[in-house]
Structures are given as C-alpha cells and as structure tokens.
Structure 1
Amino acid sequence: MSNYDITFIRPEQKAACEIWKKIRDVCKGAEAIKSAGHEYLPKLAPSDKSARNRKRNEDYLTRAVFYAITSNTKIGLLGLAFRKDPTLTAPEKLEYAQSNADGAGTSIYQQAQQVLDNVLEVAREGLYVDYADGANQAIILRYQAENIINWRTDRINGRDQLVLVVLRECIEEPDGYGFKNVIQYRELALEEGRFVCRVWRRSGETGSGGYEVSSEYWPKPKSETSWDEIPFTFVGAQNNDPTIDESPLAALTEINLGHYRNSADYEDSVWFCGQVQPYISGLDSMWRDWLEKNGIKVGSREPLLLPKDGSFGYAQAAPNMLAKEAMDSKRDYMVQLGARLIEQNSAAKTATQASGEQTSSTSVLGICVSNVTEAYGRALAWCARYLGMKGEEPTFVISQEFIAKVAESGMVTAIVSAWQSGAIRDSDMVRALQRLDIIDPGDSIEDVIDTIRNQEPTLIGSGGGNGDD
C-alpha cells in the first residue's frame, strides 16, 4: 500500500482494533458473544470433522451461559458519573449546545455520556469541532476510536501539535426506497501553519475507482484569516494525547470470557453427567433377552420382577465441582476488579469509610471523567472561537462526587450559623450546601441568594389561628 493512500491505517491502530472488538463484544452481551461462534469458546475435539462432533460443539455453545458482568459494571460506572447533571456555563450564543451540540439534535449531556461510554470501553474517542454555515453554529462531532485511522504530530513553537488526522466516515446515500453505505475519509491537516479539511471519496460513476479529493475547504474563525491548529482532540482513559491507552475494562473482559468458558464446561458436564442412570445386574441371557423384548417400565407403580440374586439400582455421577469452583473464583476476582454490581457488601459503614472506599474504587473512573471534561472544555473554546467570542471561556464539568455525601445536622448548623454571623459570604454558604446536596448543585448561586433575600416572610400561626385579631 502506498504511503500516499488516504486509507492507510497506523500499525498500532490495527493492533488495537482487535482488542477493541473483543471488549465491545463483551460489553454488548450474550447475543454478540454467541453470534461470534467459537471465536471466544474453544472447540471440542477440533480435529474431529464428523457430523456428530459438529452437533456436540453446537450444543456446547448453546448451553454455555454468558453473564453480562462487564456490561453491568460499565453501566454502573456511567450511572455514578452522571448521578448529578453536568454543568454547562456558556455565553448566550453557545447555549444551543444544551439541546443540539452536534447539529443533529444530540444535547451536549447525551453526547458526553456517549463519549465516556466509549472511553470506558476502549479508552479512546475523538472530538472534532466544525462549523455549520446554514445554522451559523459551531458543532461538536464525535468519532469512535476505530474510525480515527491515522494521525501525526510535529513540534511547533516548542510543543507537540497535531498536523494530520484522518477520520473514516460512513455516509448513508439514498438508493430507491432504501439506502447504501458509502465510506469516505475526512483529512484534517495543518499545512504551512493553516488548517485545511479535505473529503476523500471513490471516483467513477459507480464509486468503484480509487479515492480522490471530492471537496476541500479552509475553515476560519470569525474575524480571523485561518486556523493555526486542528480543532480536534483525542479523549483517553489516562490522558488526551494521541497515544492509545489501555482500556479500563480490559482486565475485567478477560476474566469475564474465562468465566464464560468455565460456564460452558460446567453446563456441558451437568447435561452429560447430571441425569440418573438406572442399571440391572444379576441377569442371565434369558432374562436379559426377555426384558429387552418386552421392555422395562420404571416407577413406583410399575413393579419390576427379577430373578434370584438380581438387583436394580440407580447410578449418578459425583458432583463435578471443579468448573463451578473456577467460575466462583473468577466471580470473586471480578468483584475485586470493580464489578460492584455483582455482589454488594451489605455491612453498615460510616460516611468516612464510604468516602475512603470511593476514592480507591473510582479512581480510574475519576481520571476518565476528568479527561472527558477537559476535552469538552477545549471543544467549547474552539466553538467560541469559531463564533468570534473572544475573552469568553465556556465550561462543561462532569461531577466527580460519585457517592452522595451524608450531611450531618451539626455540619449544616455550623455552616448556617457562620453565615448568619457574617463569618462566611452568601456565596460560600450556598456552595457548601450545594456540595452536601442540600441545595441543588445545578441552581445558580446568584438565583439562590436572590431567593433567600427576597422570599416572602412566613407568618407564625397563619392558617392555624383561633380567629382572634
């Protein structure tokens, strides 16, 4: 493949895609894992090509039970991260991002959930800021890790800066009443200090030729001649640089698949050895032939006549606990890896203990949330620059208070007393009560203070008096 081929994929990207597919399949659940056949489950007697062995492997796959442990853990982590609504602080011109951040009706809150979802799965996502001329809006577009196929950095003015990003896009084109998927590539490049965007599509009327540039444009912020950087940022699990990070769910995925293989062995053993096997001993050939000819009925209402010294009994295999023990061991290990939704500790804990455990168990989640918050900060700054809003810094923050704080009555009393005595400002009091969830963190501090100062007085005994004036 030529190095000038726009479809070129970096070697580390190819290697990572194989790992990402496995993690994504595990997060999708049983249907995706089982539809992959024996990709995640070894074959029994693989050298035996007989129809009987094929049927045995089909049954082996069907009976296996896949537990959606990784998926449930990811959903639980997302729930912790978005327990509180993120806060968006933006100028009036950018308020549309609350309901339509990407130009397709996706709010910035929903988009942030999708980004964090992918960062937890494969530790990678991309945000690109473009400009929609028709709506006169800057939009934030997200790209999954698999579609960021190529990139390059260079040292400019003393810092490493992106000079090339190639994004693969799948476009739906009408085909009668249906549609067909068309692959195109978007090249983001920094050439001679100026940002240029090119779209590559296949040539020819039928789209069967090689890829060539179908459109090229040089975006520019309002009141500026050009961009001096590419408005694209990576979002990672460790940091937001171009390096591919390890997935936070990688270790849990491997144990989940091992648990699945143990489950297949266990269920196969239960089916093969779990049924009771009746047997008869002490028969001569005449009795054997007679019973085979007339058949045998087994049950409490069907007496079975046997010759002298004949006996009838049931044989049952001893419980095969090896596979079950392996499953239990992996389950316990998954709990240690953070799968708290599988087995919760019901022991009572103090607020201090709960806070300490939160720090260790959600540290990876905290880093991921910080990276997503930082990436959206950069993206919103680019949006503001596109719209010519200089000096205005929009912010988007996802809360890292993953566990609700317990507000002790003494603490609340102390805060309010300090406020009433003038020891702390109005804003300090509101922030303190917001951190304790006494006041909604999403409320504006100014609005809360205004409500406190201007609320109507409460008349003692109103509505409950005895009618005296």
Structure 2
Amino acid sequence: MANYSDIRAEYAEALPGWQLVKRCVAGAREVRKHDIYLPQPDPENKSPENQARYKQYKKRAMFLNVTGRTRTGLMGAVFRKTAELTLPTGVDYLKENASGDGASLEQLSKEAVGECLDTGRGGFLVDFPTVKTESGVSSMADLATKRALIHFYDALAIIDWDEQVIDGVKKLVYVNLQESVTEFNPALLTRKTFKQNRVLLLIEGKYVQRVYKEGAADPTETTPTDQAGSAFDHIPFSFFGAQNNDASVDKSPLEDLADVNILHYGNSATVEESGFISSQPTLFITTDIDSDSFIKLNPNGMHIGSTRGYNLGKSGTATLVQAQETQLSRALMKDKEEQMLMIGARIVQQGSGAETAEAVRIRYSSDNSVLGTIAGNVSEAIKRAILDAERFMIGEPDEKGTVFWLNQAFFDETMTAQDIMAQVQLWQQGFIAKSDVRTNLRQGGVLEADRTDDKIDEELANQPPVGGSDEQ
C-alpha cells in the first residue's frame, strides 16, 4: 500500500508557522478559537471557577489585526496596476477562465501572492480533462469543450515532494497534493466530503498522475499527453516561493509580524484584566462592635453607593480602596506596536506630512524588495504554467508570444519628460529595442499595463497621417 498520506518533515516543521499567520489574517474570531495563543494565567487550576474566569479573560482581550491589514496593504501595492498579459490564440481563454471555475489569471495571481505572503510557497498544476477511448486514456479530445486548466494549490495542500538530479539537471519527480472533495446528492440534498491525494510522478522520464481516493481500494492512474499525443517529460507543476521557485520551503514573510501580533494580543489581555480588576473598589471597615450587634444595627447589610447611613460604633471607620493600574503591560503593548511597524506594518500607515517621497522609499526598501521578489516569482510560475497549457492545447509553446508580469512599481513614479527623451535616444542610437522603450514606459506609468505592443502598432497603423505645418 502506497504511503500517500505521509507528510514531508519540512512540511511538518513549517506547519505551525503557516497556521499562525493564516489565523492572524483571518482575524480575532479565528485566533480566539485556539487557547495556545493566550495561555491560562493559572493553567494548573482546573476548577470550574478558574475556567469561567479564563473564558472572560479571553473575551476581554483585544486582537489588533495588524497582520491582516498589512497583508491587505501589500496586496494592494502589487495589484494597484493590472498585470502585463499577452497570450497566443490557442490559450487566450485563460485570461478570463484559467481554472475552469471562472477565475481569471489575475485572480489566480492574487491567490498566489496572498499565499506567498502567508506561507512563503504554493504551486500551480496544469491539467487536462481526460477522455476514455477504446485505446485507453488520452488527453486529446474535442478541444471545443476540453481545455487545459491551471489549478492553484496552497502550501497546506502540498504535503510531500521530491527532486532528483537526472542527467545533471535537478528535476521534480514527485508531488503529493491533498485535496478535499465534496459530493452533492441532489435526491437527498446532502453533501459528503472526503479527502483524496493527487500524486504526480515522473517515471522513466514520463509524467504519470495517480489519484488515491479515500476509501477506494486502488488508485486511478493516467498518463497525460501533449497536443501531439506524446507523454510529458516533466511534471507540469510550478512551485513559487518567497525567495525562489524551487521545491524548498521558504520562510513566511509575515510570520515574524504574526509572532509579535500574538504577543501584543497577550499584553492586551493583561491590560484589560488589570483594568477590570483595579476598576472595582473594595470596601474596608473597622468597628468596635461585635458581629451580632453589627447585624442588628445594620439589618440590610452594607451597599456601596447607597443613600443610607450605617452604624459602625464609637470608633468605626470605612475606607474604599482601589488598586492603581500598572503601566508595565501598556508599555509592553506600545513596544510591540513599534516592532510591528518595523517588521512591515508601516506600509499601511500614513507617513508624516513633512516626510519626502524619497525618504519613504528608503524606509520601505526592505519590504519592497521582499514584495518585489514575490511578485516576480509568482509571475514566472504563472508563465511556466501557461506554457504547459500551451503544450496541451497548441503543441510547441510560444515563449516569445507569452507574457505575464505582475506590477512591481509599488509607488507612483511617473517618468519625467527628460526620462522619456533619454529612452527614445537610446532606442534611436541602437542601444535598446522599441519594445524595451515601451516596457519602460509601462513601468514608469506613461503607458497602461494592458497596452500591449500589438495594440499600439494596430492603432498607429489605423491612424491618419499627421498633417505638415506647410499646408496652405
């Protein structure tokens, strides 16, 4: 029996960090579900009173979701401009429906960038609906209804993998993807959810896919083929990461921030508990009369804030004592807020009015370099996936005619007139091509990202000639 449910050691080691970030991003309701992020002040006391106190202690704690807000800000910086996208005719459907459920390539890229911020990794699988024929299983069918699709997998789904050096080249030879499948019964209006593992293998240089369904005796095995009917010589799965696009586990860019965010949550619980306790005054009395006499003189007991008077005897006194709130926990909270700003939360906070744009760029440089790497890695992974889809649909992939690149201009940096003239001069002198000029103009905000070279050339060809100044 294949060990298809086993997870890789690196996966198990990284899993707690991934869960921490994802729970922080989800918000206070999700964080409060897990006691590990807010330990009981007196964990050895198992009494019902202590359990009830802990429940109130946790309820009063405030979780300031800096991690989720930072993630939103970083995502907004990448997708403030549309991605550069050019596809050959045979796979142009991917623009609007890349995964078969209506998700466009840009929507897939948003999922990927978000996952890369959360966990530092993920991947895309290119697959083709298999069709049973008399000769077996083939990927070649009616292309009008059967299309190659790109499926996104988060880090939690990629439970195992392996790379080996073949003919001097490191190749991906094994990927185990754990999927959750829901079957709906229209007659009973019920749903049944089960797990299955989609195992991708490179066996003797040929790509093979096996699906191990929970409860099934044997897996379903297929050998996907390209447009010409030949087996793939590689697994059409593209990893992306926060540092590089190999199969190794990269550290989550948001994990450090989430760690401090949870500590800030603990300090908040202490502050709120202290405030709750110290805000309740306690009454202390002294009297020279015995308890029976005290009850006779004060039959209704003693009430703080009552309009009645009380008899405490000849030398009796009463004092309200209220504890002073400690400032230590508040100071710790403030320290952690500053630490979160240093780690990355500053990107969603407004700078001071006197701060120059250049100072902001310098201050944000470390965050932008990480974010730029993520945007570039996701772009490359999606392009590789598109090229594999082309192998299914049109045969030989068109690398030059395939463009997918996410925005990396995270600030408003419109090129000046001098910058534009310099680009034109470099082109006229033969140092760069016309396409390089247009690419730089897109990155500089002069041209829209979706204004491809073909669109520009087509409009120029249809324009009437510009009249000269010597017309009478």
The answer to whether TM tops 0.5 is: yes
Aligned to 1:252: 257
Aligned 8 A contact 1:7 1:185 in 2: yes
Q: Decide which moves more: 389-398 or 109-118.
A: 389-398
2:148 is paired with a residue whose SS is strand
Aligned to 1:434: 442
How far the C-alpha of 1:16 sits from its partner, in A, is: 2.1
Aligned to 2:196: 184
Query: For the residues of structure 2 that align with 1:359 and 1:10, how far apart are their CA atoms?
Result: 34
Instruction: Give the residue type in structure 2 aligned to 1:260.
Output: Y
Instruction: Give the residue type in structure 2 aligned to 1:357.
Output: R
Instruction: Give the residue type in structure 2 aligned to 1:316.
Output: Q
Instruction: Give the residue type in structure 2 aligned to 1:164.
Output: Y
The match for 1:335 among 337, 341, 349 is: 341
1:170 is paired with a residue whose SS is strand
Query: For the residues of structure 2 that align with 1:18 and 1:414, how far apart are their CA atoms?
Result: 48
Aligned to 1:199: 211
Matches within 5 A, 1:128-167: 128-132=125-129, 133=141, 135-167=145-177
How far the C-alpha of 1:158 sits from its partner, in A, is: 1.1
Query: For the residues of structure 2 that align with 1:404 and 1:173, how far apart are their CA atoms?
Result: 48
Query: For the residues of structure 2 that align with 1:317 and 1:436, how far apart are their CA atoms?
Result: 60
How far the C-alpha of 1:313 sits from its partner, in A, is: 4.6
1:371 aligns with 2:368: no
Instruction: Give the residue type in structure 2 aligned to 1:89.
Output: T
Aligned 8 A contact 1:358 1:403 in 2: no
- Matched pairs, number: 445
How far the C-alpha of 1:416 sits from its partner, in A, is: 6.2
1:160 is paired with a residue whose SS is strand
Matches within 5 A, 1:213-228: 213=219, 215-228=220-233
In structure 2, runs of 5+ residues without a counterpart are 130-140, 468-472
Query: For the residues of structure 1 that align with 2:324 and 2:11, how far apart are their CA atoms?
Result: 50
How far the C-alpha of 1:452 sits from its partner, in A, is: 7.0
Query: For the residues of structure 1 that align with 2:421 and 2:464, how far apart are their CA atoms?
Result: 17
How far the C-alpha of 1:414 sits from its partner, in A, is: 6.8
Change (3 A) 1:419 1:364: closer
Q: Decide which moves more: 66-75 or 427-436.
A: 427-436
Aligned 8 A contact 2:178 2:196 in 1: yes
Matches within 5 A, 1:377-388: 377-388=383-394
The percentage of counterpart residues that share the same residue type is 31
Query: For the residues of structure 2 that align with 1:161 and 1:137, how far apart are their CA atoms?
Result: 26
The match for 2:97 among 96, 100, 113 is: 100
Q: Taking structure 2 as the reference length, what is the TM-score of the superposition?
A: 0.85
Aligned 8 A contact 1:10 1:149 in 2: yes
Query: For the residues of structure 1 that align with 2:76 and 2:247, how far apart are their CA atoms?
Result: 27
Query: For the residues of structure 2 that align with 1:292 and 1:22, how far apart are their CA atoms?
Result: 57
Q: Decide which moves more: 387-396 or 88-97.
A: 387-396
How far the C-alpha of 1:337 sits from its partner, in A, is: 0.3
How far the C-alpha of 1:448 sits from its partner, in A, is: 4.3
Aligned to 1:400: 408
Matches within 5 A, 1:11-160: 11-36=9-34, 38-132=35-129, 133=141, 135-160=145-170
Aligned to 1:9: 7
Change (3 A) 1:418 1:89: closer
How far the C-alpha of 1:238 sits from its partner, in A, is: 1.1
Query: For the residues of structure 1 that align with 2:333 and 2:198, how far apart are their CA atoms?
Result: 46
Query: For the residues of structure 2 that align with 1:334 and 1:423, how far apart are their CA atoms?
Result: 49
Aligned to 2:136: none
Aligned to 1:237: 242
Query: For the residues of structure 1 that align with 2:165 and 2:371, how far apart are their CA atoms?
Result: 31
Q: Decide which moves more: 238-247 or 334-343.
A: 334-343
Matches within 5 A, 1:273-288: 273-281=278-286, 284-285=289-290, 288=294
Query: For the residues of structure 2 that align with 1:59 and 1:278, how far apart are their CA atoms?
Result: 24
Aligned to 1:348: 354
Instruction: Give the residue type in structure 1 aligned to 2:274.
Output: S
Change (3 A) 1:187 1:433: closer
How far the C-alpha of 1:43 sits from its partner, in A, is: 1.2
Query: For the residues of structure 1 that align with 2:209 and 2:304, how far apart are their CA atoms?
Result: 80
Query: For the residues of structure 1 that align with 2:388 and 2:100, how far apart are their CA atoms?
Result: 16
Aligned 8 A contact 1:171 1:181 in 2: yes
Change (3 A) 1:332 1:122: same
How far the C-alpha of 1:449 sits from its partner, in A, is: 6.3
Instruction: Give the residue type in structure 2 aligned to 1:387.
Output: M
How far the C-alpha of 1:428 sits from its partner, in A, is: 6.9
1:325 aligns with 2:349: no
Query: For the residues of structure 1 that align with 2:43 and 2:289, how far apart are their CA atoms?
Result: 42
Query: Per chain length, whose mean CA-contact separation is higher, i.e. which structure has more relative contact order (CA < 8 Å, sep 6+)?
Result: 2
Query: For the residues of structure 2 that align with 1:289 and 1:312, how far apart are their CA atoms?
Result: 16
Aligned 8 A contact 2:241 2:374 in 1: yes
Aligned 8 A contact 2:225 2:232 in 1: yes
1:191-213 CA deviation, whole Å, 9 max, x = no partner?
A: 111111111224xxxx3xx6521
2:264 is paired with a residue whose SS is helix
Q: Taking structure 1 as the reference length, what is the TM-score of the superposition?
A: 0.85
1:293 is paired with a residue whose SS is coil
Aligned 8 A contact 1:426 1:449 in 2: no
Query: For the residues of structure 2 that align with 1:418 and 1:229, how far apart are their CA atoms?
Result: 41
Change (3 A) 1:358 1:40: closer
1:241 is paired with a residue whose SS is coil
Query: For the residues of structure 1 that align with 2:406 and 2:4, how far apart are their CA atoms?
Result: 36
How far the C-alpha of 1:305 sits from its partner, in A, is: 7.6
In structure 1, runs of 5+ residues without a counterpart are 459-469
Aligned 8 A contact 1:98 1:107 in 2: yes
Query: For the residues of structure 2 that align with 1:44 and 1:71, how far apart are their CA atoms?
Result: 27
Query: For the residues of structure 1 that align with 2:112 and 2:419, how far apart are their CA atoms?
Result: 40
Query: For the residues of structure 2 that align with 1:273 and 1:158, how far apart are their CA atoms?
Result: 70
1:23-53 CA deviation, whole Å, 9 max, x = no partner?
A: 21121111111112x2211113222222211
Aligned 8 A contact 1:138 1:383 in 2: yes
